[in-house]
């Protein structure tokens, strides 16, 4: 038993440290992009186009991950692209979590007509294919950071709503809620003060997952050129450009792809790790 608990905890810890570490690195790089990035991400140098990354033959010092067909530094573009990705992840993730969780808490606790309306809405919502829905929304809203954020909220609030509603219903059955009712507290106080803190670990875990999803959605939209203004570097946009010159300069495609993959993975693992850490049974 003790050993079992020990291993669970160690694993959760490792997961948390690795994923958290990667996210911290990305956050620091993008936050201080102006000082850290070796080159301006938009400056073209046609004499230095398609330079390979540092380990390959013919690499130039100063261009760690090489350059693309227009001679722009890939590393600098990845760092600046991370700025967009992280901004979207944080703003859209938090906003989606708040909208979905509040509706889920209300549906799960008050039940009755509120639950009926919210749950039907979720069912209808989930029938739409999310990526098509996103592209449609951007077509209506126009491109730009806020359009992406709004699109992600509109598509993904259901994810929070469903899970939070189920967890709230679960918690509402607990004896401590009955005790609070007997004590004479009003329903809203019971919901926010008693049930809320017990649903929070679930919300935090989902939030981390949602941030990863937001990064993917932003990448998809920028891949089809529907993200922020077209000249700013984005991971999805770099992948789209790299696709054209894959046979001459594979690194332009592969480098942002790996960073995107690691970041999304880190978000989901970070969420899992946090959930294990907060779980009162495992704690």
Partner 1 sequence: MTAFLEIENLSAAIKGTPDRLLRSVSLHVNSGEVCGLVGESGAGKSMIGKAVLGILPSAVEIVEGQVRLDGEDLLAMPQRERRRLIGATAALIPQDPLTALNPSRRIGPQITDRLVDILGWTKHDARTRAAELLDEVHIENPQRVLASYPHELSGGMRQRVLIASAFAANPKLVIADEPTTALDVTVQKQILRLIREMQERHGTAMLFVTHDLGVVSKICQRLVVLFAGMVVEKAGVSDFYANPAHAYSKALLSATPKFTEPFTSLTPVDQTVISAVSEQVEAADREWRHAH
Q: Considering the complex, what minimum distance in angstroms separates the CB of residue 165 from partner 1?
A: 15
Q: Identify residues 6-65 at the interface with partner 1 (CB under 8 A).
A: none
Distance between CA atoms of 71 and 64, rounded to whole angstroms?
13
2 binds partner 1 (CB under 8 A): no
Q: Considering the complex, what minimum distance in angstroms separates the CB of residue 201 from partner 1?
A: 8
Q: Considering the complex, what minimum distance in angstroms separates the CB of residue 100 from partner 1?
A: 21
Nearer Cβ to partner 1, position 22 or 109? Answer: 109
Q: Considering the complex, what minimum distance in angstroms separates the CB of residue 253 from partner 1?
A: 46
Burial class (CB in 10 A: 0-12, 13-18, 19+), 249: buried
283 binds partner 1 (CB under 8 A): yes
Nearer Cβ to partner 1, position 71 or 196? Answer: 196
Q: Identify residues 104-123 at the interface with partner 1 (CB under 8 A).
A: 111
Cβ pair 59, 117 in contact under 8 A: no
Q: Considering the complex, what minimum distance in angstroms separates the CB of residue 73 from partner 1?
A: 48
231 binds partner 1 (CB under 8 A): no
- Reference 75, options 102, 45, 41, 51; nearest CA is 41
Q: Identify residues 126-165 at the interface with partner 1 (CB under 8 A).
A: none
DSSP character string of 148-165: HHHHHHHHHHHHHHHHHH
Nearer Cβ to partner 1, position 173 or 229? Answer: 173
Token reading at 1: 């038993």
Cβ pair 253, 246 in contact under 8 A: yes
200 binds partner 1 (CB under 8 A): yes
280 binds partner 1 (CB under 8 A): yes
Burial class (CB in 10 A: 0-12, 13-18, 19+), 141: middle
Cβ pair 212, 263 in contact under 8 A: yes
Q: Identify residues 173-192 at the interface with partner 1 (CB under 8 A).
A: 174-176, 178-186, 189
Distance between CA atoms of 176 and 194, rounded to whole angstroms?
8
Interface with partner 1 (CB under 8 A): 111, 174-176, 178-186, 189, 193-194, 197-198, 200, 280, 283
């Amino acid at each position: 038993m003790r050993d079992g608990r020990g291993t669970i905890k160690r694993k959760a810890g490792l997961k948390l440290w690795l994923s958290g570490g990667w996210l911290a690195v990305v956050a620091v790089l993008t936050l201080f992009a102006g000082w850290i990035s070796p080159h301006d991400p938009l400056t073209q140098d046609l004499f230095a186009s398609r330079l390979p990354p540092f380990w390959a033959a013919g690499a130039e010092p100063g261009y760690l991950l090489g350059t693309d067909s227009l001679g722009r530094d890939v590393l600098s573009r990845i760092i600046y692209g991370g700025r967009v990705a992280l901004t979207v992840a944080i703003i859209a993730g938090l906003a989606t979590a708040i909208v979905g969780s509040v509706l889920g808490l209300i549906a799960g606790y008050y039940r009755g007509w509120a639950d009926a309306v919210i749950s039907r809405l979720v069912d209808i919502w989930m029938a739409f294919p999310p990526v098509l829905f996103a592209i449609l929304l951007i077509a209506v809203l126009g491109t730009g950071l806020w359009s992406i954020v709004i699109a992600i909220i509109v598509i993904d609030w259901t994810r929070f709503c469903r899970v939070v509603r189920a967890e709230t219903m679960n918690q509402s059955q607990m004896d401590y809620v009955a005790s609070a009712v007997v004590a004479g507290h009003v329903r809203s106080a019971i919901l926010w003060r008693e049930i809320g803190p017990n649903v929070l670990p679930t919300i935090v875990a989902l939030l981390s997952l949602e941030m990863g999803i937001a990064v993917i959605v932003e990448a998809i939209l920028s891949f089809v050129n529907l993200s922020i203004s077209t000249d700013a570097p984005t991971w999805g946009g770099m992948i789209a450009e790299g696709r054209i010159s894959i046979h001459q300069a594979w690194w332009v495609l592969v480098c942002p792809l790996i960073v995107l993959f690691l970041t999304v993975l880190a978000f989901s693992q970070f969420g899992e790790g946090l959930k294990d850490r907060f779980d009162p049974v495992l704690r």
